Chain A
Amino acid sequence: NAGVTQTPKFRILKIGQSMTLQCTQDMNHNYMYWYRQDPGMGLKLIYYSVGAGITDKGEVPNGYNVSRSTTEDFPLRLELAAPSQTSVYFCASSYSMLAGLTDTQYFGPGTRLTVL
Chain B
Amino acid sequence: KNEVEQSPQNLTAQEGEFITINCSYSVGISALHWLQQHPGGGIVSLFMLSSGKKKHGRLIATINIQEKHSSLHITASHPRDSAVYICAVCNFGNEKLTFGTGTRLTIIP
A and B together in one complex = yes
| Chain A residues near B (Cβ < 8 Å) | 31, 33, 40-45, 48, 50, 58, 88, 90, 92, 96, 99-107, 109-110, 112
Contact A42 B96 (CB under 8 A): no
Structural contact, A109 and B41, CB atoms closer than 8 A: yes
Contact of A103 among B48, B94, B96 (CB under 8 A): B48
Total CB contacts across the A-B interface at under 8 A: 59
- Bound-state CA distance A102–B88 (Å) is 12
**What A residues does B33 contact at CB under 8 A?**
104-105
The answer on a CB contact under 8 Å between B42 and A110 is yes
| In the bound complex, CA of A103 to CA of B33 (Å) | 9
Interface residues of B (CB under 8 A from A): 4, 30-31, 33, 35, 41-45, 48, 86, 88, 90, 92-102
A50 to B48: give the CA distance in the assembly, Å.
Answer: 19
From A41, A92, A105, contact of B101 by CB (8 A): A41
CA distance A109 to B43 in the complex (A): 7
CB-nearest residue of chain B to A107: B43
Q: Residue B86 contacts which of A42, A106, A109, A110 (CB distance < 8 angstroms)?
A: A42
CA of A104 to CA of B22 in the docked complex: distance in angstroms? 20
The answer to whether A102 and B31 touch (CB under 8 A), given A31-B95, A45-B96, A50-B95, is yes
* Known A-B contacts A41-B101, A100-B95; A105 and B45 likewise in contact (beta carbons under 8 Å): yes
Are the CB atoms of B4 and A42 closer together than 8 Å? Answer: yes
A100 with B93: CB separation less than 8 A:
yes
